[in-house]
Structure 1
Amino acid sequence: MDRPPHPNPLPEGRGGTTVGAYAWYIAVLMALSHLVSFLDRFVMGLAAVPIKTELGLSDTQIGLLAGLGFVILYSVVAVPLGQLADVVNRKRMIAVGIFFWSVATAACAFADSFGSLFLARLSVGLGEASLVPAAMSLIAAYFTRDKLGRAVSLFTMGAGLGKSAAYIAGAAILAWSIPRGGLTVPGLGHFVPWQVLFLAASLPGFVLVVLMLTTVREPVRTRTGKRPGAGPALAYLRANLRVYLTFGIAAISVIMEVQTIAAWAPSFFAREHNMTAAEAGYLVGSAALLASIFGALSGGFLTDWMQSRGLIGAPSITMAVSLVATAVSGLVLYTTPSLAIAVPAYAIVQFMTSAGSPAGLAGIQMMTPPEYRGLISSIFLCGVTLIAVGLGPTFIGVLTDHVFTGPRGLGTALLAANLVFAVIGIVAALSCRRGFQALRVA
């Protein structure tokens, strides 16, 4: 095991009074890794417009590429990788995962059919499954509980920035490559504009691999006296299943809101406000950029502030507030014919969903003993990913192909999903507050 940093990181899941600059460096690097993972994940949202035309795909197939195609292997390996994160060197685990998903993202550029693109997206999901359990375990090891919400919000902020980077940088690449008919790479051949997107998106990951291996020092694991292993972890989860389940439903509802708008926002603005793919990418990425940053940070500060004042179930309250505001702003976004109104409404949706996201991840760390965090976080992540990421975008595609088939069908489908997810999540978040407070271990 690598030599720990000096001063030694605070015991996992324990209190403390100081958090050093190196701990914040770790949080920033984990956030950058999260950013790159979401850039590689959501470049599909922008590429969907030209891919649909050039490969002749249906909305359901686009939804599968954005959702279920990404999560199938992600969900299969998430739990064993989470268990692995409890015992192996976490920085190396993350580095291997980044390298694998970066190669898979580059492979998307060589796809020439739905099948080959679907296979490449499966591989992206397989690589990205390693990140969150290991990264959350590292963050929880370095931070005291009074700063954990902010550290996790920094991590989730990386996701919002990754989406914005995918849209803004992707739009710039499309604007550059479309007039030129794509890009010819010596030794590799010619790539059409949407394939150039995937090539470019794969590059930052290789830089991160080097940083991860050369600058991260694995902290010494501390124990609370609980017996480690899958058996005890699953027994703990079963004993507290009601709290975990209701908290998980609330978190899934927040992420369903995040994933559906992220996967379909460029297509929504392109179709319903008569924009090109590049124009929609610039707009969506720019409007979401600051909203995602300040939303994630605000959610972390709100959770920490409520905890410091002894409010029961602070992460649950944060998620409930986020969902209420998302439902209201989404109602405006999906019904207004005015672009001048739709853009700020979209920014508010991004702000509020970004504010709710850190609470789910932070709450799971607070509920779970350090010995079980990798495995239980991965189970949580598996459920969230399979339902929210896998079914959310695909569900919208099915609705627009078979239910809401009119000229404003995509907006109607997004509106219906927005309201249903919000109601379910609010009820779940409020119902688990006291159970969460009784279970909290960090």
Structure 2
Amino acid sequence: MSAFKQEAAPVALSTNGKAPISAWYALAVLIMSTVLGGVDKLILNLQLEPIRISLSLTDTQIGLLQGAGLALFAGLATLPLGWLSDRYDRRVVLAACVVLWSAATGLRGTAETYGVLFIASIGLGVGEAGLTPITNSLIPDLFSRAQRVLANTVYALSTIFGAALGSILAGSIVKMMDDLRPVLPVSMQTLESWRLTFFFMGLVGIPATLLVLSIRSTQRTSKAEQAVRAVAKVEPDENLVTFREHMLAHWRTFIGLILGTGLAGIGLSSLGGWIPVLAVRTFGSTPAEVGQGIGIAILCGTIVGGAVGFFAVRYAQRVVGPAAAVRVVMVGNVIAALLSMLLLLVTTSTQAFMLLGLLVTPLIGGAVAVPNVLQDAAPPHLRSRTIAVLTILGLPFGVIGPLMVGVLSDAFKHLDNGLALAIVCTTVVGGLVGAVVLYVTERPFVRLMREAHIT
């Protein structure tokens, strides 16, 4: 066996079931990597308007850039990366992903045409495609089932808070590059700010890659899962359900979850991508102001939404039992879709940011439960591939959302609030239809969760 496949000196759980310091260090690095990937994507959103002007782009092209460039090719790359992370050292696979998306971010700064910008976005999407399957496979290897909920919660909340702080940081980076312009080489002093920002973020990937490689190797199966197998007298390589058997047995449930969350995501995922454009184009905000405004909005929405969601899940558990997470997500999507109509009434960027914070609040409640759902929806040896397949099947919605807003915006361009109207139409229709699908999927979802604990 090659050194690439070996996993010597694995991180093991202590005898009392508590994870060692090295496991929490690994979790911190995973959080850092996820936040960095989010900042690299957010930098594009903050710079879309100056890029549009510089390269003479249409809103339809911008929609394709956000949808097909990121979501579509990221989805296509998820399964191969999931296959790799199920078979090889996950640290090495993740480090390679960081290198790829950082290089793609730097390549954006060289773009003179839309084609180069689109290719760079493909590279960024492919690199970041490894985050979901790898992190959701590493966490169960690092933590026992008793601590997994805590670890998932820490990861989810940290990445959400990190995204909010990253938004503020992204806006500050844009401003910082303008301030540093006089000390840059003469050949770079005349470059647009968005090019300098992409170059800087590409260089940040170097230390991030080294941190990922510093994580100690992990076991494929946690101590808790090994104990379950011992009690059930199941040999590690015997009587294991195959990937094909698992997907065929639960395909209706998976399709329901994908359709429900995907339809809601058609509009809701477009809010974060298009509100920055709305603030710059309609209200004349600077990238720094947009970054800070969005960051504060997401941060406040997360704090309030986390508290509301905690009590909502507890209440839903008493009412609907194991379906609590799906019910909270469903209700949150409906509330957010209806609240999005207020976007038609905003008259300043501050109001837009406040509305974004309000929209984030009902969506946060179920967000921390999503990693647990993904991890428990498949046995350990199928985690990465199952998550990868769910991501691939959901990729059309990631493409349709931003693209639909762009197409509608071009169609409504004769209206003063055409962009806002496009966002609202997409969000309301997707959110309400998606909620209906999730409601129908509740019962098969509960059966899937129960069987996953036995598998």
Give the shorter-chain TM-score range.
Answer: 0.7 to 0.9
Report if the CA contact (8 A) 1:257-1:353 is conserved.
Answer: no
Q: Could you say which residue in structure 2 is the equivalent of 1:438? A: 447
* Maintained 8 Å contact 2:12/2:218: no
Give the Cα–Cα distance (whole angstroms) in 2 for the partners of residues 63 and 114 of structure 1. 12
The answer to which of 178-187 and 114-123 deviates more is: 178-187
Pairwise CA distance, 1:280: 2.4
Aligned partner of 2:410: which letter?
Answer: D
Matches within 5 A, 1:348-427: 348-384=358-394, 386-403=395-412, 405-427=414-436
> Residue 265 of structure 1 aligns with which residue?
275
Corresponding residue for residue 13 of structure 1: none
For residues 345 and 238 of structure 2, the distance between their equivalents in structure 1, rounded to whole angstroms, comes to 51
Alignment RMSD (CA, Å): 3.2
- 1:215 positional shift: 2.9
| 8 Å contact from structure 1 (residues 23, 143) kept in 2 | yes
Secondary structure, in 3 states, of the residue corresponding to 1:312?
A: helix
The answer (yes or no) to whether the contact 2:14–2:20 under 8 Å persists in 1 is no
Q: Which residue of 1 aligns with 2:37?
A: 37
Cα separation, 1, equivalents of 2:419 and 2:364: 22
Contact (CA 8 Å) 1:255, 1:388: kept in 2 or not?
yes
Following TM superposition, by how much is the alpha carbon of 1:301 offset from its aligned partner in structure 2, in angstroms?
8.3
Tell me if the contact between 1:312 and 1:434 (Cα under 8 Å) persists in the aligned partners. no
Question: Mean alpha-carbon deviation: is it higher for 148-157 or for 190-199?
Answer: 148-157
CA distance in 1, matches of 2:320, 2:242: 30
Q: Are 1:246 and 2:264 matched, yes or no?
A: no
Alignment of 1:113-192 (within 5 A): 113-145=113-145, 147-157=147-157, 159-161=159-161, 163-178=163-178, 184-185=184-185, 191-192=191-192
| Residues 1:205 and 1:388: Cα distance change in structure 2 (over 3 Å) | farther
Q: 1:126–1:253: structure 2 CA closer, same or farther, 3 Å change rule?
A: same
Letter in 2 for 1:400: S
The aligned counterpart of 2:10 is 4
The structure having more radius of gyration, on CA atoms, is 2
SS of the residue aligned with 2:63?
A: helix
Could you say which residue in structure 2 is the equivalent of 1:93?
A: 93
Deviations 1:131-154 (A, max 9, x none): 211110111233344554443344
Q: Is the alpha carbon distance of 1:310 and 1:29 closer, same or farther for their aligned partners in structure 2, counting shifts above 3 Å?
A: farther
Q: CA deviation at 1:343?
A: 3.2
Opposite residue 431 of structure 2, the aligned amino acid is A
Moved more, 333-342 or 400-409: 333-342
Q: Which moved more, 1:396-405 or 1:176-185?
A: 176-185
Deviation of the 1:375 alpha carbon = 0.5
Pairing 1:112–2:94 present: no
Q: Is the 8 A contact 1:318 1:359 kept in 2?
A: no
- Alpha-carbon distance in structure 1 between the residues aligned to 2:85 and 2:311: 27
104-113 or 274-283: bigger deviation? 274-283
Count of aligned residue pairs for this structure pair: 435
Distance 2:177 2:116 in 1: 23
Q: Identify the residue that residue 12 of structure 1 maps to in structure 2.
A: none
**Which residue identity is paired with 1:202?**
G
Deviation at 1:177, TM superposition (A): 4.3
In structure 2, relative to structure 1, the CA distance for the partners of 1:23 and 1:174 (3 Å cut) is closer
Give CA deviations for 1:194-220 in whole Å, capped at 9, x if unaligned.
Answer: 112212222333222212211333124
- Aligned residue identity for 1:348: L
Query: Matched residue of 1:218: which SS?
Result: coil
Instruction: Go from structure 1 to structure 2 and tell me whether the alpha carbon gap of 1:376 and 1:194 turns closer, same or farther (over 3 Å shift).
Output: same
State, as a whole percentage, how many aligned pairs show the same letter: 23
Alpha carbons 2:62, 2:406 under 8 Å: kept: yes
Aligned to 1:197: 197
Letter in 2 for 1:320: M
- Are 1:146 and 1:304, in contact at CA under 8 Å, matched by a contact in 2? no
- 8 Å contact 1:153–1:299 — kept in the other structure? no
The more displaced of 288-297 and 411-420 is 288-297
For the 8 Å contact 1:256–1:389, the answer to whether it is kept is yes
Change (3 A) 1:342 1:94: same
* Cα offset, 1:128, TM superposition: 1.3
Deviations 1:376-401 (Å, cap 9, x if unpaired)?
100112233x2343221122111101
For 1:248, the aligned partner's letter is I
Using the TM superposition, name which of 277-286 and 251-260 deviates more: 251-260
Determine the C-alpha separation between the residues in 1 that align with 2:64 and 2:301. Answer: 27
CA separation of 1:228/1:397 partners in 2, compared to 1, >3 Å: closer, same or farther? farther
Q: What amino acid maps onto 2:200 in structure 1?
A: A
Kindly provide the amino acid, as one letter, of the partner of residue 118 in structure 2: F
Query: Matched residues in 2 for 1:307 and 1:18: separation?
Result: 27
Give the 5 Å matches for 1:45-124: 45-124=45-124
In 2 relative to 1, CA 263–158 (structure 1 residues): closer, same or farther, beyond 3 Å? farther
Aligned with 1:319 (options 329, 335, 339): 329
Q: Report the AA paired with residue 374 of structure 1.
A: S
Q: State which of 274, 291, 298 in structure 1 corresponds to 2:301.
A: 291
Moved more, 233-242 or 175-184: 175-184
Q: Structure 2 vs 1, CA of residues 6 and 231 (structure 1 numbering), >3 Å: closer, same or farther?
A: closer
CA distance in 2, matches of 1:204, 1:237: 39
Instruction: State how far apart, in whole Å, the 1-side matches of 2:241 and 2:115 are.
Output: 39
Does the 8 A contact of 1:260 with 1:414 survive in 2?
yes
Structure 1 residue 413, shift from structure 2 partner: 0.8
Assess if the C-alpha contact under 8 Å between 1:50 and 1:194 holds in 2: yes
TM-score, normalization by structure 2? 0.84
CA shift, 1:86, in A, is: 1.7
